[in-house]
Amino acid sequence: MSQTDAASPEGASDDSRRIALARAWVAQDPDPETRVELDELVARVEAGDPEASADLADRFDQRLAFGTAGLRGEIAAGPNRMNRVLVSQAAAGLGAFLLERAPGTTPSVVIGYDGRRNSAVFARDSAEVLSGAGIRAILLPRLLPTPVLAFAVRHLDVSAGIMVTASHNPPNDNGYKVYLGGRDHGSQIVSPSDAEIAAHIAGVAATTLVTDLPRGEFETADESLVDAYVQATAREAGYAPPAQPKVVYTAMHGVGWETAARVLAAAGFDAPALVDAQIQPDAAFPTVSFPNPEEPGAMDLSFERAREVGAELIVANDPDADRLAIAIPDATNAEGYRRLTGNEVGLLLGWRAARKAADETGDGGSDGTLACSIVSSPGLEAIAGAYDLDFEATLTGFKWISRAPNLLFGFEEALGYLVNPGTVRDKDGISAAVAFLSLAAELHATGRTVADHLDEFVERFGCHASGQISLRVTDLSRIGAIMARLRAEPPSEIGGIAVDRIEDLSEGFGALAPSDVLRIFLEGGSRVMVRPSGTEPKLKVYLDVVAHEGTVAERRAAASDTLAQLEAGMRELTA
């Protein structure tokens, strides 16, 4: 039995039990930093420090859950944190799952990592443990964007992929994303695979010390793998841009720039002006409170750089470069620029994909599917209808979007876009940047801007406006209480707008798997979605309205008014 899970003597106090578990954890921890950290915490508990006691309880009364988002949490010692013990157990559990899934074969796993604290260490631990279990383990040659790992799963035709990243989480977080090859075609894990892997991880933790896990030699992928990603992604531009707007780029202290620079050059784009302070990987993320382009202030340096060079477009990747943010000039904004919402970018890229599909058929007809998450703009369905394409709304996450049949394009409002499903079955901020820059270049060649194109969209499809309320909590029980209250006392109106119907997805709905989501439809075509975040301690509320009447300006004004009503109503309901 693993010493970590051994019980303390019958009748021992909670602190005594946890101290015993902590000492057992230290005994198998290969990381001297977390061993010292935990020893010091135990000493404080033994000295009667109540804060230390609460900290120890939080670390040892539960495990960091492995699910469809893999693992994600704060780097620290203990089973409810990200550390070398937990990662080694996860690798051993994944290995056992793969061996069970394909008996009599030698499974293979490719492993990538970004520039976050301990990412490289966690990746090497995973490779060694998997190799020790008899699995072919292949480590990417250096820190690289998440999309390169997602590409590698398909390109190398391996059984699974692991990406060590916490994407845009706070600096001291890290995480572990798992992709499956074979019949999963390189998409992230979904149920029941997540539960099966979790069960194997729990089995390893209960029976085997990390120090007893066999370790072996692993391979390092050749640079030709990265070359293949660069060439495949550059092809998304289609052809050399006829004219180019002036662009500013930021990597948000992440790993995107080296790869993005090569892709943009291969696609024929001019080198953008850079936000130098954010261009190199830096695990401390010193210039931003949260390294997420959606967060207030995160793009301030981008705006400053854009004003200096007179940029017509700002392109931002998040730290692992699987997300894309776009900003355009806006004279009404104090900074002179505004970041487009994920829905705005998604709808423009979806419209581009639909036009491209129609052009390829040559007869105005087209075939394929546009897909987005259920919390993303319904405007994508309007595009699909106009181009005689199929449309699919999936649960949140590209693990679902990527599985839409005959997929042409998929997106979610949280700045995620899948523009090249033939090579990457996940969101990809670099290929999406190529697609958007290609669109911007086409517009530039005819004297139009992205803002003009947004007006054209409203004129053709109506004003599909979206808003979001993000309620960050310190006590997760508050989220459950709000969801329970909304179910027990469903609103008859929101912000003065009558509710037409409410769909509770907790038991599943249609083809959708069960999910903790409430979908509220209102008179006039508006929609509200409420769900807990899958990666952060937040309750998220998504607001969508549409206005078809009047001029472009009148449609925007009407949609803005309705959004304001819905936001006020939902803030009251979630207070």
The pLDDT tens digits for 328-337 are 999 999 999 9
pTM of the model: 0.93
Please give the pLDDT value at position 1. 46
From 88, 167, 302, 373, active-site residue = 167
Say how far apart CA 137 and CA 124 lie, in whole Å: 10
User: Could you tell me the pLDDT band of residue 243, with boundaries at 50, 70 and 90?
Assistant: confident
Of residues 366 and 115, more confidently modeled: 115
| Tens-place pLDDT, residues 265-322 | 999 999 999 999 999 999 999 999 999 999 999 999 999 999 999 999 999 999 999 9
Q: Tell how strand 187-188 and strand 324-329 pair up.
A: unpaired
H helix intervals, 408-497? 429-445, 450-461, 477-488
Provide the token pair at 359: 């052009």
Give the percent of the chain with pLDDT over 70: 97
Task: Summarize the confidence of residues 235-249 as an average pLDDT.
Answer: 91
3-state helix vs strand vs coil in the chain, percent to 5: 40, 20, 35
Please give the pLDDT value at position 363. 58
Task: Summarize the confidence of residues 174-195 as an average pLDDT.
Answer: 95
Annotated catalytic, 167?
yes
Q: Tell how strand 463-472 and strand 538-547 pair up.
A: antiparallel
Phi/psi of residue 436, nearest 5 degrees: -70, -40
Closest CA to 145 of 233, 267, 277: 233
| Contact status, residue 373 vs residue 395, Cβ threshold 8 Å | yes
Please give the pLDDT value at position 364. 55
- Tokens 């309620």 — which residue? 471
Q: Give residue 50's identity as a one-letter amino acid code.
A: P
Say how far apart CA 501 and CA 132 lie, in whole Å: 54
User: Could you tell me the pLDDT band of residue 10, with boundaries at 50, 70 and 90?
Assistant: very low
Please give the pLDDT value at position 365. 55
User: Is pLDDT above 80 for 52?
Assistant: yes
Cis peptide upstream of residue 107 (ω within 30 degrees of 0)? no
What value does the mean pLDDT of the chain take? 94
